[in-house]
Structure 1
Amino acid sequence: MVQRHKTSAWPLAVAYAALVVYASLYPFTGWRDQGMPSWEFLLSPWPKYWTAFDLGANVVGYVPLGFLLALSFIRRGSLAVLSRSNAVAVIVAVLAATGLSFVLEALQTYLPSRVASNLDLGLNAVGALVGASMAAGLELAGAIDHWSRIRSRWFVDDARGGLVLLALWPFALLFPAAVPFGLGQVMERLEAGLAEWLQDTPFLEWLPVREVELQPLVPAAEMLCVALGLLVPCLVGYSIIRSVGRRAVFAAMVLVLGIGTTALSAALSWGPMHAWAWLSEPVSYGIAVGFVMALLLVVLPRRGCAAMVMLALGVQLSVINQAPASAYFAHTLQTWEQGRFIRFNGLVQWLGWLWPYAALVYTLLFVSRREGAPKIGG
């Protein structure tokens, strides 16, 4: 029997399942009992009103979960019964994902803003089956082992934490940002949330109230935020990539992926005709400046790259959190939070808010670690 080495797929599967739970039960308010069994939706007729987007979203949302679960079962040598057959691993992964979907659909019975549906359950199972079959097919084709060899050539041994951050970055960009690549703008919403929670209490006066109305970013500040927003993921990658040449290739990949994902977010929010409406003059200059800076820093040592991440994020977060969200941007958020994107809002909203702070923590631990100490995420 071929020995299969453990991979990081299992913790990723658990993390993705947690995100699915969050997205499925968002916004977690208004719980009530309708006086019917939670599994009643299984016997209900299929919903009369549905869209192609809803169908596709329910399938696509469970493809990564099925893939990661199946890959975890296939590659974990400790599960002997699963190591005998990839087909068994696929079946177990699909059953696990379908079971999770059933529980979440049943819980949606108690949420006024969500509708439990047997159609959603079936589509989730199909998505899990597609993802699990992909994992089994790639394993049989040797693609998983091939990726392991590529990873060993491109990345250092303690690259897992950085790879997870980089994998999440494009998903974080999907949530509309007031400034392109400007992740982490949380201060305005945090203040509003705290004020709401402390309403009618003496502690409300303790909040730092801004006496001057926030002004929109000037073009130079917007350009700076865009440049640093593109530079940061490049530097995170540099901290785990072995050679200078591969760093330059990686920077080009980040540029293409970042622009493409931001255009996709705009197309989803405003329509395909407005996919490039965000590409203003300051944004274009910011992208160019960020890419040039990334190329100039390809020779920086790993620790230097991590230190630059903290510096760049400190500047960007300080600037972007001093700017208000425009009324047009607020209207765009309503499309995600109350419209057809509500299923993805919980997933990408928190990624867009927290990704920079997770990168700060990761790089801070990296810089503070002594040489020869246990590796982060290795």
Structure 2
Amino acid sequence: MTENTPAEPAAPAPAPSPTAATPPPAAAKPPLAPVSRTSPITRAALLAYLLLIIYASWFPFSGWHNQGLSPLIFLETTSMPRYWTKFDAIINVIGYIPLGTLIVYALYPRIKGIWALLLAGACGLLVSGTMEAVQTYLPSRVSSNLDFYTNAIGCAIGALIGVLTVRRLLDQSQLQRLRRAWFAPHASQGLVLLALWPLAQIYPQNFLYGLGQLLPILSEWLSQLLDMEIDLGNMIRPDVELTVEQYWLSETIITACGMVGAGLTLLCLLRKPSPRGLLLSAMVVASVVVKALATALLFSPENAFVWVTPGAQAGFLIGAIMLAGLTYAPHVAQRRLAVTTLLLGLVIINTTPANPYFVATLQTWVQGKFLNFNGAAQFLSLLWPFFAVWFLWLPSHKLNAAKVS
């Protein structure tokens, strides 16, 4: 028999090389701090507000001529103006507070802190001084050192508010997160435009949402320029008297077009997760509230809802039905329909004669202390539809970014 030999013991496993050792787990990285970003919406808002200040300060833009006064005459006197009120001073301060705040927001994060405060204050002095200097060429306006100082103070207060709130609002705000979740990346200019739509209802208009009635203003300017009576409305439209039913039909179309045009402009900026119905309803409700409050303030409380006519009610109902049906339409279709309705509304509002009842009511309006405010309101009322059409015709890829879910 063959003798069994014991098996050789297995060789021990080699010790692991120090260089081949498993690396220790990486240390947990601290959460990244929020990145400061520029805010296109604040820059667009700053530009819009600056245009409002210019229009309000130089309204009514007529009678320009050199009165033989130094443009800096308001700085050459230390005495107070002969006619001034606490109301005027307070309005001047309040009117420039948003300007200072928006300047600081627009500069962030490139310039912040004390430097942003100083730069915004200097811009307030420059803007206010320019407005007062140009007013020396307008016989209907009076430049004033009180206006200059109160405007500058208002801008400085606004700049301080901006410095204290800019980080919380632009870097850590829930509003910023909702902005990125609900709206397209390039919707900033559109959001500013839509925020101004309710404010455009302040100035008295022939019809509800009847913005963009330029012919009376153009007729007045041409009459002054050519020193002769010119009525562009009579040149364009037939010289016929409209019946009450025809006025109501025109008002129905104008109201529906204005409401649908603004609503679709909002809808084509929204992402899929956004609460479209809620946002759309909020914008429309805001326009109605502003319209009622402005009518009560400018005329009388009992006239707060005088604009609720049968034509306005029918147009509002038609507009609501159209917006409900188009809420989830493709963005391209929403944009094209918005342009179509806005242009149709412009054509009808500028070819429909003024309502005699509206003209009689307007004659009771005493602008008085609200002259500057009314100038800015008229600016919005006249030009909002044109700005909206221009925005909707921007390169389509900016608006189509709203398709991203």
TM-score by shorter chain over 0.5: yes
Partner residue, 2:251: 222
Partner residue, 2:100: 66
1:318 to 344, 347, 359: 347
- After superposition, what is the alpha-carbon deviation per residue over 1:165-193, rounded to whole angstroms, capped at 9, x for unaligned? 21221232222111011111223443554
> Cα offset for 1:148?
2.7
Partner residue, 1:6: 38
Alignment of 1:104-253 (within 5 A): 104-142=131-169, 145-146=172-173, 147-191=175-219, 193-194=221-222, 197-198=225-226, 208=235, 210-213=237-240, 215=242, 217-243=246-272, 246-253=275-282
Alignment of 1:79-94 (within 5 A): 82-83=111-112, 86-94=113-121
Gaps in structure 1 of 5+ consecutive residues: none
Code of the residue aligned with 1:319 in structure 2: it is: I
Partner residue, 2:77: 43
Give distance in 2, aligned partners of 1:358 and 1:134. 30
> Cα offset for 1:242?
0.8
Compared CA separation, residues 119 and 331, structure 1 to 2 (3 A): farther
> Cα offset for 1:226?
1.6
> Cα offset for 1:16?
2.7
Give distance in 2, aligned partners of 1:25 and 1:41. 19
Compared CA separation, residues 337 and 69, structure 1 to 2 (3 A): farther
Compared CA separation, residues 373 and 106, structure 1 to 2 (3 A): closer
Alignment of 1:263-302 (within 5 A): 263-302=292-331
Residues 1:359 and 2:388 are matched in the alignment: yes
Alignment of 1:298-309 (within 5 A): 298-309=327-338
Residues 1:57 and 2:91 are matched in the alignment: yes
Q: Is the 8 A contact 1:173 1:352 kept in 2?
A: yes
Q: Is the 8 A contact 1:62 1:127 kept in 2?
A: yes
> Cα offset for 1:316?
2.0
TM-score normalised by length of structure 1: 0.82
SS in 2 for 1:321: helix
What value does the CA root-mean-square deviation take over the aligned residues?
3.4
TM-score normalised by length of structure 2: 0.77
Give distance in 2, aligned partners of 1:233 and 1:374. 17
Partner residue, 1:23: 56
Q: Is the 8 A contact 1:24 1:104 kept in 2?
A: yes
Give distance in 1, aligned partners of 2:399 and 2:247. 44
- After superposition, what is the alpha-carbon deviation per residue over 1:73-116, rounded to whole angstroms, capped at 9, x for unaligned? 232x2xxxx34xx2331232122112321232233234321122
Partner residue, 2:123: 96
Compared CA separation, residues 358 and 104, structure 1 to 2 (3 A): closer
Q: Is the 8 A contact 2:136 2:143 kept in 1?
A: yes
SS in 1 for 2:105: helix
- Using the aligned pairs only, state the percent identity: 31
SS in 1 for 2:298: helix
Code of the residue aligned with 1:55 in structure 2: it is: A
Compared CA separation, residues 276 and 361, structure 1 to 2 (3 A): same
Partner residue, 2:10: none
Give distance in 2, aligned partners of 1:373 and 1:253. 21
Compared CA separation, residues 224 and 37, structure 1 to 2 (3 A): closer
Q: Is the 8 A contact 1:335 1:341 kept in 2?
A: no
SS in 2 for 1:112: coil
Q: Is the 8 A contact 1:269 1:335 kept in 2?
A: no
> Cα offset for 1:130?
3.0
Compared CA separation, residues 125 and 200, structure 1 to 2 (3 A): closer
> Cα offset for 1:339?
3.6
Compared CA separation, residues 243 and 52, structure 1 to 2 (3 A): farther
> Cα offset for 1:252?
0.9
Code of the residue aligned with 1:19 in structure 2: it is: L
Compared CA separation, residues 257 and 42, structure 1 to 2 (3 A): farther
Partner residue, 1:32: 66
Partner residue, 2:3: none
> Cα offset for 1:267?
2.4
Compared CA separation, residues 192 and 123, structure 1 to 2 (3 A): closer
Q: Is the 8 A contact 1:198 1:204 kept in 2?
A: no
Gaps in structure 2 of 5+ consecutive residues: 1-32
Compared CA separation, residues 242 and 346, structure 1 to 2 (3 A): same
Give distance in 2, aligned partners of 1:25 and 1:192. 16
> Cα offset for 1:163?
1.6
The number of equivalent residue pairs is: 364
Compared CA separation, residues 196 and 307, structure 1 to 2 (3 A): same
> Cα offset for 1:330?
4.3
